[in-house]
Structure 1
Amino acid sequence: MLKKVFRFLFSVCLIVLGIGMSLYPAVRSEKIHMEAISYQKEVDNAYKQNKEQKKKKESDPFYQSIKKYNEDIYKNGQKDFKDAFSYTWFPIPLNGFKEERCGYIKIPAMDVQLPLYVRATKKNMAKGATVLGNTSLPIGGNNTNSVIAGHRGYQGSPYFREIEKLQIGDKVYIKNQWEKLTYIVKRIKIVYPNDSDEVKIQPGKDMVTLLTCHPYRSHGRYRYLVFCERDTSKKAVKKKKAVIETKDKTITYEPSEPEIKKENIIKQIAGFFILFCIIFLLFNNLFFLIKRQFYKKNKDSPNF
């Protein structure tokens, strides 16, 4: 009897584990998506409230401190932007950003919308896109370049996994509590991880630079950079296929699409296998119960 109970409980545990494993990526991805929507509403409400109250950013002390920070790092040549530690540090208080979120980023060509965090810590990068410390905070303005980093996929959530879908002319949107900013993809380049000079502020430009690892699932062998410049014209922009630049001849562009497709196929096969195991265990236990009832009925039947 104990053996039968143990067998049943073991089967139930396997079924629950299988369902959990197959659903976890989707559940986590949906959780991130819902958090992004929730935070988007917070930002939209703050933006709307500031607009209705005719609250000018010029009179907001917190905005002015950010603007001064952006000006200062340009003047000093971003001298503190040099290693992984500097990416998580800002020399000014950022208490005006709730839970270190400074807005959200929307990239239609990649079909992603993510909360935008200041400080590129592991914790923040697990929750969304992050602004590297000692780069411009994303409020726009001349002589700025906000470097925005994202994982190349993380625990089932895509994040910047599909970054290679971006082409010249694609738009990137950033919204904070003061305004909506629109940027257009201008250049794409692959560099080494320590090439920090590649993402520094370019004089006279208002930019954001998207940054992630490359190739996909390469453990960060290179960095994939998408340079975007501010668009205030609101005119339609003709898109064109990007020419992928590289730091030098030692780097060759390796498309990530085959690896992403391969991973998706493996996930589908794994999903079907888990589903098969669940169905097998269910039918096996059902057959066992029917068989048991059949023998019990025959045993209890009178003999003529």
Structure 2
Amino acid sequence: MTHHDRAVADAHSALATALAVLLIIGGIGVFSYPLVANMLADREHAEVIRNYGTATSELDPDEKQRQLQLAQEYNDNLAGDPLHDPFVEGSGYALPTNYNDVLNLAGDGVMGTLTIPKIALNLPIYHGIDEETLEQGVGHMSQTALPIGGIGTRSVLTGHRGLPSAELFTRLDELDTGDLFTITVLGDTLAYRVVDIDVVTPDKINEILPDPDRDLVTLVTCTPYAVNTHRLLVTGERTDYDPDDPDLTPTHTVISARSWDTWLRWGGVSAAVTIGAIAAAILHRRRARNAARGDGGTGGNAVGAVGDDDDDDDDGTARDGDATRDGDGKNPTRDAGHETGQNTTNEPKRGRMEGPPRHSRT
């Protein structure tokens, strides 16, 4: 193999290796995107919830009481307009003038947190149900009671299902009657036990009404998964909150925001090392293969050349031998002379060689 051929082979090998690495990276990216995106979303949710917890813990008792009073007045003054489907574009309505000012401690729209232990869900609750809000967490329907509890109130919280970037209410259909979820507002945690699960068409959302004798919260999302023609309603009724209740223990580990940083950091390092190792292995294998081919080609040519020379020598020797000897190694001219008693030195030599003789005697 010439130097030019080897350079071309190396270039092709490098290109093939680069393409293989790109395909590996692309495949890993496609299959890991939902997982990584959900991890990032969970990290963001955990950070928002942590900041909200810090804000409520630093809240002055008088300010906390004032916020609760404003929320109670809001609930008392609800107009009672029928609800609209939160997932149909253009189905919204004008917000009350003071809606975004109530339970908005940090000015980021977070009014509380929702925790569903059975599916290890912990999400911030935001004011409103616009698309941007529902991509970040759970939205509160402003025409329902703010989630501070109270007999005769019914808060409605909505969340997306099946987003590739976040889990949100994707697993809400795993809840059963009797399961618990909690809502934390201004540092107070309220527990609700699931008492009803229903599936309705979007036009039936307006039938979600408060019960004058009960304290209710309804969670709403789309169903069936990825079809979204109906709405899943999971309603919980207020019950006593016991932090030691086994039903409030998450079935999966809930990872904090700082823990997510560690997981993402080490996950990125592991992915980089894995991709690098695969690329190095591919490159090494290709170089070894090309080297083997190059050595084999050069060696073969050298051996072939030597073999050709040997063949030429052998052919020459054979031709010389044929000119003087027959198949049994005797000199036919001398033997013929002995047998006939005649001088045969001037006669042409005879043997197995075809065509004119290469040597002649005088």
Q: Would the alpha carbon gap of residues 202 and 193 (structure 1) be closer, same or farther in structure 2, given more than 3 Å must change?
A: same
**CA distance change for structure 1 residues 297 and 101 in 2, over 3 Å: closer, same or farther?**
farther
AA paired with 1:112? Answer: L
Aligned to 1:191: 200
Other-structure match for 1:173: 182
- Superposed, which structure 2 residues align to 1:1-304 within 5 Å? 1=8, 3-50=12-59, 53-55=60-62, 57-60=64-67, 63-73=68-78, 76-79=79-82, 81-82=83-84, 84=88, 85=90, 87=92, 90-91=95-96, 92-95=98-101, 96-97=104-105, 98-155=107-164, 157-218=166-227, 220-232=228-240, 234=242, 286-298=284-296
**1:13 shift after superposition:** 1.6
Query: How far off is 1:165 after superposition?
Result: 2.3
Cα distance, 1:203–1:86 mapped onto 2, change above 3 Å: farther
CA deviation string 1:147-203 (max 9, x = no partner): 111222211633222223222221111112242111111111111111122322222
| Alpha-carbon separation, structure 1, partners of 2:12 and 2:284 | 16
Alignment length (residue pairs): 258
d(CA) in 2 for partners of 1:8 and 1:226?
53
The Cα of 1:89 is off from its aligned counterpart by 5.0
Q: Is the 8 A contact 2:119 2:174 kept in 1?
A: yes
TM-score by length of 1: 0.72
- Which string of whole-angstrom CA distances, capped at 9 and with x for unpartnered residues, describes residues 39-86 of structure 1? 222222233223xx43463333xx43332222111xx3225x335445
Q: Which of 83-92 and 116-125 deviates more?
A: 83-92
* Change in 2 beyond 3 A, CA 1:116/1:87: farther
Post-superposition CA distance 1:192-246 (Å, at most 9, x none)? 111122322222332210111122222x11111111111236499999xxxxxxx
Report if the CA contact (8 A) 1:145-1:207 is conserved.
yes
Deviations 1:266-304 (A, max 9, x none): xxxxxxxxxxxx999886655322211323455677958
Residue aligning to 2:339:
none
In 1: Cα distance, 2:143 partner to 2:12 partner = 63
- Aligned counterparts of 1:122 and 1:100: Cα–Cα separation in 2: 14
Q: Percent identity?
A: 25
Shift of the alpha carbon at 1:18?
A: 1.0
Letter in 2 for 1:43: Y
- Residue in 2 aligned with 1:272? none
Q: CA deviation at 1:12?
A: 2.0
Q: 1:102 Cα shift?
A: 1.6
Determine helix, strand or coil for the equivalent of 1:160: coil
Q: In 2, distance between residues paired with 1:88 and 1:77?
A: 13
- Partner Cα separation in structure 1 for residue 179 and residue 58 of structure 2: 30
Could you say which structure has the larger radius of gyration? 2
CA distance in 2, matches of 1:104, 1:30: 18
Preserved CA contact (<8 Å) 1:86 1:133: no
Q: Report the TM-score when normalising by structure 2.
A: 0.62
CA contact (8 A) 1:119 1:131 kept: yes
Answer whether contact 1:190 1:222 (CA < 8 A) is retained.
yes
| CA drift at 1:107 | 0.3
Going from structure 1 to structure 2, the CA distance change for 1:177 and 1:293 (only over 3 Å counts) comes to farther
C-alpha RMSD of the superposition: 3.3
Structure 1 residue 106: deviation in Å?
A: 0.5
Give the whole-Å Cα distance in 2 for the aligned partners of 1:232 and 1:214.
30
CA contact (8 A) 1:47 1:179 kept: no
Q: Give the Cα–Cα distance (whole angstroms) in 2 for the partners of residues 233 and 295 of structure 1.
A: 75
Q: Structure 1 residues 89, 207: closer, same or farther in 2, change over 3 A?
A: farther
Q: Partners of 1:104 and 1:183 in 2: how far apart?
A: 13
